[in-house]
Structure 1
Amino acid sequence: MLQTTLVNLSMNRPRWVFFGVLLLTVIAGLQIPSIKVDTDPENMLPADNAARVFHDHVKERFGLHDMIVVGVVNDSAGGIYNQQSLSELQQLSDAIVQMDGVVSQDLMSLDRVDNISQEGPGTIRFEWMMKQVPTDQAGIDQIRTSVERLPLLNNTLVSGDGKAAGIYIPITQKSESYRISGLIQTEISKLSGNNQYYISGLPVAEDTFGVEMFIQMAISAPLAGLMIFILMWVFFRSFLLITAPMLVAMGSVIITMGLLIGQGYTVHIMSSMIPIFLMPIAVVDSVHILSEFADRYRPGEDPKVALKEVLGHLFTPMLYTSVTSAVGFASLAFTPIPPVQIFGLHVAFGIMLAFVLTITLVPAYIISLSPKRMAQMKDHNIDEDDNSFLGRLLIFTGRFSIARAKGLLVLFVLIVVGSAYGVAQIQINDNPVRWFKPDHPLRVADRVMNHHFPGTYNAFLVLDKTGDLRSGLEQSLQTRAAKEGVELQQKLDSVTAESFIEYTNALINLFDQLSYDDSDHETLWLDLLDMTEKAQINSKYFLTPDAMTYLDGLQTFLDDSEYVGKSNGLPTLLKTVYRELQGGAADQYRLPSTAAAAAQTVLSFQGSHRPNDLWHMVTPDYRSTVLWLQLSSGDNQDMNRVLKLVDGYVADHPLPEGVKLNWAGLTYINVVWQDEMVNGMLNSLMGAFFMVLLIMILLFRSVKIGLLSMLPLTVTILFIYGLIGLSGKDYDMPIAVLSALTLGLSVDFAIHFLERTRAIYRECGSWEQTVAEVYKGPSRAISRNAVVVAIGFTPLLFAPLVPYITVGFFLATIMAVSAVVTVMLLPAVMEMIKDKDSLFGVKPGIKESIHD
C-alpha cells in the first residue's frame, strides 16, 4: 500500500514532489545560519557526570583555569638567557595580560613571578624575578641562578636546558582559546628577534580543531559530492539522470542539519560529520535505481514502465536496508555520550528521509525529463553491457565463486581468524592534538614544547580530608567538662559560626573570657581553650607533618616515574620557603617539622607579590590540596599509566585515615569520556547487531537467509577492526563511530543481493540460471555503488584533519570489503547448501509449476 501510494505520487504528481521537497529544504536551510558550534570534548560527558562535576568543582575551589602555553625557544649556546630573548618575552607577556579573556593576575612568566630569597635570619624577601630586563650578562646570569634554585619555577617557566621559556596563560573560557591564540600570534609577528615561538595546550587544540573542522566540512563534503557526481557520469553517461541522486543527497543533508540546528542543538565534533556519513547512504539507493533503470530502459520506450518494474523489485530491499542502517545509527542513542546520541538519532532520521526522497524524488525527476533528453541517455542494455570490463569481471566472479566454493569458504575463515587476532590487538587511545596532521603548527608546537619542558598537558591529583570536625571537638570538650561536673552544651549552642575556623575562634574567645569570669573553674576553661587551639591547628590537616610527609612522598614518587614530567604542590612551596627562612642552605630544603612551623611558613609566603598562588594548591581551610602534574603526552594510554601508577602507590602506601583521592584536569577528562564512548559504542554495536539480525529474520521470514545476510556484515566488521589492530592504528573517536556506518553499509549490499537472488530463483527455479541473472543486474548495481562511494570519498584523504582522513579511508575500505564479501562469499555459501528450495522458500508444488 505504501509502495503503491509513493510510486504513484512520484510518477503522477512530480511537481507536487518537487514543491514539497523544495519547501522542506528551504525551511531547513533557513535554520542553518543560526548554527552554534561546540568543540569542547568535555561536553562529550553529560552535565551530571560525576567526573565532570568533580572537575568543575576542583577548578572552582582552587581557582584553576584552562591554560594556553606559549613557548619561546632559542637554540643558541646561551639559550633564552640573553637580553633580546628576555626583552621579547617581557614585551609579549605585557601584551598578553591586556587581552580580554586572559586571567591576568594568574599569568605565569619570568617577569610576573617572585624570586624567593633570604632577607636575614628568620626573614624572607620576595622580589620580582625580572622587574626589568638586565642590561648586562651578569644580571641575566643572576636570573638564571635564581630560577634554577627555585623548584616551583625551574623546568616549568624555563626549561632545564635553558633553551626555552614558557608563558602560562590562564583563560576565562576554553571557547576563547582560538581567538586569544590568534591575538598572541599577531603580537608574535611584531617581534623581530631570532627566537622561535610556539603556541600549545589542549584548550587551543580543541578550539582550533572546531574552527578548522567546519572549514573542512565546507570543503570535503562538496568535493566528495563532486567526485561521486563524476563517477556516476562515468557509469551512466547522463548528467541529467545523475542529478537526481545528488538532489536526494543534498536534500537529505540540508533537511537533517536544519532539523538538528533548528532544535537548538549545538554542532559538535560528531554532528559536524553528519553530511559525510549521510551522503554515501543517501546516494546508495539512488544508484541502485539508476543502475537498474539504465539497464532496463531503452530510448523511445515509456520510462514509467521501466521505473515501475525497477521500483517493484527494489522497494522492499531498499526499505530493508534503510531500516537496518537507521537501526544501526539509532542504537548510538544508548551510548552515555550526549553528542553521540544526537549524532546517531539524526543520521537515522536522515537515512529514512533519504529513502523517502529516493522513491519519490528520483522517479519524479526521471518522469519529468522530456523524451528528447531521455533519448540522449546511453543505452545500458544488460546483454550488451556484459561485454564491458565490469560485466565480464562480475560474470567471472560468479562462476569462480560457485566453482571454488569450498576454497573460498576456507579463505574467508582464515581471514576471519586473522581479523579476530587483529581485533585483540586494538589499543584504545585518543589525543585531541593528534586530530591534526604531523606538520600542523599545533602538532609541531606540541613536539617542541614537550621536548624542552616536562609537559604541557595538565592533570590534577586532588586529596580531600573528610570528617565532622565540629562534632568531634564538641564531644572532646564535653568529656573534659564533665570531669569537673560542668554542663557545657548550652554554651556550645550559643556559638553559631558556620566555618570550623570561625567556630573555634569564637570558642577560644569564649573560654578565654570564662577563665577570667569563673575563677573557680579557671583551670578547666584554660584546658578547653588549649584543646580548641590544638583542634584548630590540627583541622588544617594538610599542614600537619603526617599529611605533608605522605603528600611529599607521593609527589617524589611521581617525579621519579617516567610518565610524569614534573609535579608542583604544597610540599614544593613549603620546602622552598622554609629553606629560605632557615638560611637558604640546600640541606634546609625540607618540610617544617610541626604544623605550627608549617603555618608560619605559609604566613611568610603571604607576603609575596602573588599570595593567591597558595590557594591554587590548597583550600583556605587546608582540608583539600591538589598536585599539579605536567605530562609530556596527552594520549589516553599515558594518562591511564599515570592513574595505575598512583593506584599502585596507594596500594603500597595506604592513604591516611579519612583522606580521599580523586582526579581532575582536561587530560583526565579526555580519558573518562573516551572510555565511556568506547564502552557505549561497543554495547550499542552489539545491541544493533542482534537487532539487525532479528529484523532480517522477520523481513525475510527466514532464519537461514537472515543469518546469511549477516555474513558480509560480520566479516567486514571483523576485517576492518582487525586491520586497525594489526596496523597499530589507535581506536579513537572517528574509528568508534565508524562501527555504526560499517553496520549500515555492509548489510545494505547483502539485503539487495539476497532479495534479488530469492526473487529470481522463485521465478526460474534454477540455481545456475539464478546465478547468471544475479551477476548481471543486482551485482552490477552493488559494484557500481561500491566504486562510486569508495572512490567518491577519496578527497577526504587529502584533508588536513586526521579524523576526516580516517573516515575517508575506512569508508572506502568498508564499501570495498562489504561488496567483495557480498558478491563472492554469499554465492559460495549458498552453493554449499543443497536444498535451495527450502533456502529460498519455494514449495515443491510451485517449483513443479515453474518447470512445467
Structure 2
Amino acid sequence: MDILTRYCQLVAARYRLFVAGVVIITLTMVYMTTHLGINATPYFLDPSHPSRLADKHLKETFTGSGENLMVATVTEQPSIFNSLSLAELHRFTLALEQLSLTVAADAERVHSYLLQLEKQGTLNNQAQELKARLTRYLGGEQHFAPFSAVDYSQLKRLGRQFELGGLMTAEELAGYTDFLTRVAPIHKVRSIVRIESVTASGDELDIHPMMFQIPDTEAGITALQEEAYANPLLRNILFSDNPQVINTLVELSILQDDAPNMRRVYNAILALVEQEGFSDSYHLGGPPAIFAQTSATMENDSNTFFPVVFAVVMLLLYVLFRNVRNMLLPVLVAVISVIWTMGTMAIFGVQQNIVSTMLPVFLIAIGVADSIHFLSEYRSRTQRGENRPVAAVVGVLFRPMLMTSVTTMVGFLSLTYTPIRFIQEFGIFVAVGVGYAFVITMVLLPALQYWLKPEKAANLQKSPLMTNWIKANVDLVVRHPRRIWFGAALVLLLSAAGVTRLTIDNEMIGYFSSSTKVYQDNEVFKNHLAGGGVIEFIVSAEQADYFKQAAAVEGLEQASNKLKSLPYVGDVYDLPAFMKLMNKALHGDDPAAYHLPQGAEDIYAQYLFLYENSNGDEIFNVVSEAANEARIIVFVRSDKTSVMDNISSTIVPYIEQQLPDVKVTPAGFGEVLIATRDEIIYSQISSLLLSFGFVFLALLGLFRSLIYAVIGIVPLLLTVTINFAIMGWSGLFLDVGTAIVAPIAIGIGVDYAIYFINSCRRQGTVSAETLQRTLSHLYPPIVFNTLVQGCGFLVLALSSHQALINLGILVSLTMLVTAVVTLLMLPSIMLLLFGAKSSPVTPAEEAPAS
C-alpha cells in the first residue's frame, strides 16, 4: 500500500478533522489580514539601492530637497496679477502653512498622555494650557482643528517626555511619530507670497518676501508683476510666460515612502481649495501627486478586483460544470488560498503595493486550476460508475498536480531575481499562494467529497460542441501537419519582426487615464510651466569652498546652457542662476547684468557672504554650506524614463569633462525611474533564463527523459516570443508591469504541457486513436482553465492604472496562446517523434482526465 492510498484512507476516516483544520487556519489568517498595511509609493526600488541612497544624500545635504508638490493656479482673467487672484493666493499660502492632518482621535490620545503627566506632577504651564485647550475641544465647547503647525515644536518635546515617562509602548511611539508628521505635513511654501526677491540697496543685497503684503492699488500690482518677471531665476518655475498661470511649490515634511500621509495631504489641499471657493482653478502636480493618485488607484482596485474576479470565475465555472457544487468548490479553494497568502504577508510585515494589489486576481485565477482537474477526473470516474473514486483521482493526479504547482511557483519565484522590491514580494507571495492552493486542493477537496452526499452531474465531456472540437483538432494534427508547421513558422516570422519593435521605457503619468485629474493637471505644468517631471544632479568635489571658485561656477553655467538645449527640458534651477541674479541686483537691477559676475578671484565668495548676511537661505537649495557640493535641478516636461535617461547620459559626462575634479551623481525621482527601468532589463533577462532553466530541470526530473523535457519547453519558447511580439506590434513598453508577463507565462504555461505529455506516455503509443483519447480527457480541463484564468486576468483591465490594464490583457492572451500551442503543436511534435512507436513507459489502462 503506497503513501497516497494510506493518506486517502486517513482522509476517509477523519474527513471532518481535515475540514476543521482548514477552517481554523483560515479564520486565523482572516484575523491576520486585518493587520495588512498598504504601501503605495511609486518608488519600486529598495531604499538600499544606489539611486535611493543618492536621493537620501541629496535630501540630507540641500535645503528645499523634500518632496515638492506643485500647485498651479490658472485664472480666466487676462492676468493672474489682479487683486482678487493675489488675495486668494495669499490666503491659500497662509492656509497651507497652517495645514494639519490631525483628527479628533489624535486629540484624545494626547489628552490622555497629558492627564497621566499631570498625575505624575510633571506637567509644565505650557502643557497645562494645551491640556485645557484639548479639554474644551473634546467637550465640544470650541470648534477648531485639534492641532496646527505651530504646535509642532511643543508636541515634539512632549513626545520625548511621554517616552521617558514610560507612557508609550514601542508601537505607540511609532504612532506618535506619524502623528507629528500629520501635525505639520508642510515644511515650506514657495509661492509669490513667500519666495525670496533679491534686490539691492547700494552695495548691500535686500532679500525679502516678494509679496509681504497684498497690493491695494493698480500701481502696486503692476510693480509686483514687474518684480516677478524681472527674476529670471523663477521664470517658468514659479512664473509662467502665460500671464494667466502661476505656480506654488509646496515642500512636504512627509517621507517619500509614506504614501498614506502623502495621499492625506494631497486630498487635504484639494479639500482646502474646494472649501475656500477660489475663483481661479488650482492644479496639483509633481511626484507627490502621482503618489497620491497611485494610492487612490490601489484602494479602488482592491475594492474592485476581488469581488469581480470572484463573480467572473463563479459564473464561468457554473457555465462549464452546470453544477452548483462544482462551481463553489474551486472558488472556495482559491479564496482560502488568497486568505492564507494575505495573512502570511501580514505575519511577515509585508505591505500591499501597486504590484501585489493584483495578487488576489492571480491566485483566484490560478488557484482554481488544480480543482478543475480534480473535479473533472472525479466526475469522469463517477460517470463510469465508480463510487467515491477519491483515492483513484489522487493517485492519478497527485504527481502531475505537484509538478505543475512547483513549475508555476518556480515561474513566479524567478521574479525575485531583481532588486525591484515590489516585484520580489509579488513573486514570492504568488508562489506561496500557489503552494497553498495545491495543499488545500489535496486536503479539502478529498475530505469534502467524503463529507458531501454523492451527486451525479451531466458529463460535460460528451458535449457535442466539445466532441467536434476534439475531432477537428485531431484531424488537423494527423491529416494536415504541414499546415500546423507552416502556421507556426509564419507566426514566428511575424513575432521576430514584432520583437524588434519592442522598446523599454516607463512613464508614470502615462499610466493614468487622460480623464483623471492627475493627468489633466500635469498637462498644465507641461504646457504652461517648466514641467511636472524633475531630475537632479549632485556635483561633488573633495575641496571645501570649491563652488566659490570662478571656474567651478562657470563650468556649472556651461552645463546649464547644455541642459536647456536638450529636448523636453523646461528650465534649470542652479547656483549660476543665483549668482547671475545677485549680479543683476547689484548693478541697479539692469537686465543686461544678468550674467556671471566678473572681477576678483574671490568675487563668488563675496556674493555668497553678502547673501548670507542678508538673511537669505534659498541659495542653499543648490549649494552645500561647505560649498563643496552643488545641486542642479532640471524641470522636465515629461516623466518618460527615456527622456530622463537622455538628459542624464548627456549631462553627466559633459560636466565631468568641464570640471575634471568633480563627481556627478544623478539623483531624485527621475534617477529612480531610470534605475528602475535599467533593473527591469537586467531582471527580465535573469528571470527568463531562471524560469526556463528551472522548468527544464523540473520536466527532466518528472519525465526522466531529455527529449520530453525539450518537447515541454518548445511551446513555452513560442508563447514567450509571441508575448514580446504582441508588445512590440501594439507599441506597449517593456516596463514594471509587462516585465513580469514572460516568467508568468512560463510558470503557468508549462502546466498544460506536463498534463499532455504525461497523458500521452500513459497511453503507451502515439497514434490518431491515442491522441483522440488523450485530447478527449484533456480538452475539458484545458479549455476550462484557459477560459477561467484568461477571463480572471482580464479583470485587471478594470483598473484605472494602465500598467495593470496592459498586464491583464497580456496575461490573458498568453493563456490563450499557451492553450492553442499545447493542443496543436504538442500533438504534432509527439506524432512526428513517437508515432506508431512504443513508449518506454508501461501503458496504463486509460489516460487520466487531466
User: Which TM-score band (shorter chain)?
Assistant: 0.7 to 0.9
Aligned-partner Cα distance in 1 for 2:735–2:16: 46
SS of the residue aligned with 1:697?
helix
Shift of 1:576: 0.6
Query: CA 1:181 to 1:241, structure 2 compared with 1: closer, same or farther past 3 Å?
Result: same
- Determine the structure 1 residue equivalent to 2:383: 298
Matched, 1:328 2:411: yes
CA spacing shift, 1:266–1:192, aligned 2, 3 Å = closer
Report SS of the residue matched to 1:70.
strand
Give the corresponding residue for 1:110: 192
State how far apart, in whole Å, the 1-side matches of 2:397 and 2:467 are. 20
Deviation of 1:362 after TM superposition, in Å, equals 1.7
User: Map of 1:481-520 to 2, 5 A cutoff?
Assistant: none
8 Å CA contact retained: 1:405, 1:829: no
| Aligned partner (choices 324, 344, 347) of residue 259 of structure 1 | 344
Match of residue 200 from structure 1: 285
Residues in 2 aligned to 1:715 and 1:6: alpha-carbon distance in whole angstroms: 39
2:704 counterpart (701, 704, 709): 701
1:277 — aligned with what?
362
The corresponding residue for 1:171 is 252
CA-to-aligned-CA distance 1:533-583 (integer Å, 9 cap, x gap): xxxxxx421121111111111111111222311001111011111111122
Instruction: List alignment gaps of at least 5 residues for structure 2.
Output: 101-180
1:8 matched residue in structure 2:
9
Partner of 1:837: 837
* Counterpart amino acid of residue 827 in structure 2: P
Larger mean CA deviation between 542-551 and 5-14 belongs to 5-14
Deviations 1:607-663 (A, max 9, x none): 556x2212111111111111111111111111111112214534xx71424211111
Equivalent of residue 144 in structure 1, options 225, 229, 233: 225
Cα 1:53/1:795, change in 2 over 3 Å: closer
Task: Give the aligned partner of residue 162 of structure 1.
Answer: 243
> Do residues 317 (structure 1) and 420 (structure 2) align?
no
- Compared with structure 1, are the counterparts of its residues 9 and 712 closer, same or farther at alpha carbon in structure 2 (3 Å cutoff)? farther
1:404–1:828 Cα contact (<8 Å) kept = no
TM-fit CA distance, 1:458: 1.7
Name the Cα RMSD after superposition.
Answer: 2.3
Does residue 425 (structure 1) correspond to residue 501 (structure 2)? The answer is: yes
Matched, 1:634 2:635: no
In structure 2, the CA distance between the partners of 1:836 and 1:311, relative to structure 1 (3 Å rule), is farther
Greater C-alpha Rg: 1
8 A Cα contact 2:236 2:570, kept in partner = no
Q: Secondary structure at the match of 1:459?
A: strand
- Specify the alignment match of 1:691 in structure 2: 694
Partner of 2:88 in structure 1? 88
Aligned with 1:170: secondary structure?
strand
- Which stretches in structure 1 are left out of the alignment for 5+ residues? 468-538
1:38 matched to 2:39? The reply is yes
Which of these residues, 586, 599, 609, is aligned with residue 591 of structure 2? 586
Residues 740 and 338 (structure 1), Cα distance of their counterparts in 2 relative to 1, 3 Å cut: same
Instruction: Specify the code of the residue in structure 2 equivalent to 1:659.
Output: V
Distance 1:792 1:264, change over 3 A: closer
Partner of 1:548: 553
Shift of 1:215: 3.2
User: Is 2:452 aligned against 1:379?
Assistant: no
Q: 1:253 to 1:834 in 2, by over 3 A?
A: closer
Q: Deviations over 1:75-100 (max 9, x none)?
A: 44x23222222222221111111124
The one-letter code matched in structure 2 to 1:571 is P
- Aligned residue type for 1:787: L
| Counterpart secondary structure, 2:540 | strand
CA offsets, 1:636-694, max 9 Å, x none?
111111112214534xx714242111111012112113322331232022112111112
Residue aligning to 1:368: 451
Alpha-carbon shift at residue 412 of structure 1 (Å): 1.0
For residue 600 of structure 1, what is the aligned residue in structure 2? 606
CA distance in 1, matches of 2:498, 2:766: 40
Partner amino acid, structure 2, of 1:3: L
1:478 is matched with which residue?
A: none
Cα separation, 2, equivalents of 1:719 and 1:800: 26
Supply the distance in 1 between the matched residues of 2:675 and 2:766 (Cα, whole angstroms): 57
Alignment of 1:236-255 (within 5 A): 236-255=321-340
SS at match of 1:115: strand
- One-letter amino acid matched to 2:547: F
Deviation string 1:416-441 (CA, Å, 9 cap, x unpaired) is: 23223322322111233333222111
Stretch moving more, 239-248 or 207-216: 207-216
CA distance 1:661–1:303, change in 2 (3 Å): same
Query: TM-score, normalization: structure 1?
Result: 0.85
1:413 to 1:2, Cα distance in 2 relative to 1, 3 A: farther
Tell whether 2:825 aligns with 1:740. Answer: no
Partner of 1:213: 298
Q: Is the 8 A contact 2:321 2:460 kept in 1?
A: no
Deviation for aligned residue 1:835: 5.1
Q: Deviations over 1:71-130 (max 9, x none)?
A: 111244x2322222222222111111112455756311011113333434x344334322
CA distance in 2: counterparts of 1:295 and 1:391, whole angstroms? 15
8 Å contact kept, 2:41–2:294 = no
Partner Cα distance (1:413, 1:578) in 2: 70
User: CA separation in 1, counterparts of 2:221 and 2:650?
Assistant: 39
Q: Which amino acid aligns with 1:160?
A: D
Structure 2 vs 1, CA of residues 195 and 5 (structure 1 numbering), >3 Å: closer, same or farther?
Answer: farther
**Out of 290, 308, 313, which is 1:228 matched to?**
313
Distance between the aligned counterparts of 1:336 and 1:126, measured in 2? 46
Give the 3 Å change call, closer, same or farther, for CA 316–67 of structure 1 in structure 2. same
C-alpha contact 1:735 1:807 (8 A) present in aligned 2: yes
Q: Distance in 2 between matches of 1:8 and 1:89?
A: 78
Q: Deviations over 1:498-521 (max 9, x none)?
A: xxxxxxxxxxxxxxxxxxxxxxxx
Amino acid at match of 1:222: P
Asked whether the 8 Å contact 1:209–1:435 carries over to 2, the reply is no
- Partners of 1:98 and 1:92 in 2: CA distance: 10
User: Closer, same or farther in 2 for the Cα pair 1:104/1:358, shift >3 Å?
Assistant: closer
* Cα separation, 2, equivalents of 1:204 and 1:584: 37
Using the TM superposition, give the Cα deviation of residue 753 of structure 1 relative to its aligned residue in structure 2, in angstroms: 1.5
TM-score (norm 2): 0.85
Which amino acid is the alignment partner of residue 4 of structure 2?
A: Q
In the alignment, the residues of structure 2 paired with residue 559 and residue 85 of structure 1 have an alpha-carbon distance, to the nearest angstrom, of: 31
Does the 8 Å contact 1:296/1:381 carry over to 2?
no
Q: How many pairs were matched up?
A: 757
- The equivalent residue for 2:715 is 712
- The one-letter code matched in structure 2 to 1:841 is P
Q: 1:459 — aligned with what?
A: 535
Residues 6 and 247 of structure 1: CA distance in aligned 2, closer, same or farther (over 3 Å): farther
Q: Secondary structure at the match of 1:733?
A: coil
Verify the 8 A CA contact 1:6 1:359 in the aligned structure 2: no
User: What secondary structure is seen at the aligned counterpart in 1 of 2:379?
Assistant: helix
> 2:779 and 2:473 mapped to 1: Cα distance?
10
The SS at the match of 1:775 is: helix
Give distance in 2, aligned partners of 1:799 and 1:273.
Answer: 10
The equivalent of 2:265 in structure 1 is 180
1:675 aligns with 2:672: no
- 1:395: which partner in 2? 471
